[in-house]
Amino acid sequence: MLYTEHIKDNKLFLRLYRKGKYTATEYFTAYYLKNNLPYNRFGITAGKKLGSAVVRNRAKRILREAYRKNEISMPIGYDIVFVARSGIIGKKTDDIEKVLLSKVIKAIRS
């Protein structure tokens, strides 16, 4: 990804859950927090309640691709974590992209 690094450290995930702002949609919840760096950091989680490993991995792939396609539109300097919800099952990347553009990017910029 062009302007993005992956979040792998559990401390960063927990910090976003505790201190970050969030916006919830029927497909996912996005937590975000300013990181004062010249790039974004990005993570995805999908809990076991979502379904089998196949379902969880597909949800993560869809979210990752929607983010990748709209990375240029994202404000720079944020930590962002997407938590997949059960509504994402059976959805296409295009559906998720529309929600990402209309709700998440608007919420981060405001």
Strands (E) located in the chain: 4-6, 21-24, 28-34, 40-45, 78-84
Task: Compute CA distances 43 → 49, 82, whole Å.
Answer: 18, 6
What CA–CA distance (Å, rounded) separates 89 from 72? 26
pLDDT for position 1: 66
Calculate the alpha carbon distances from 82 to 18, 22, 55 in Å: 14, 10, 16
The SS3 of residue 15 is: helix
- Spatial contact of 42 and 80, defined as CB atoms under 8 Å apart: yes
Question: Which are the contacts of 76, defined by CB distance < 8 A and separation ≥ 6?
Answer: 3, 38, 39, 40
Going residue by residue through the chain (110 aa), what tens digit of pLDDT does each one get?
A: 677 899 999 999 999 999 999 999 999 999 999 999 999 999 999 999 999 999 999 999 999 999 999 999 889 999 999 999 999 999 999 999 999 999 999 999 88
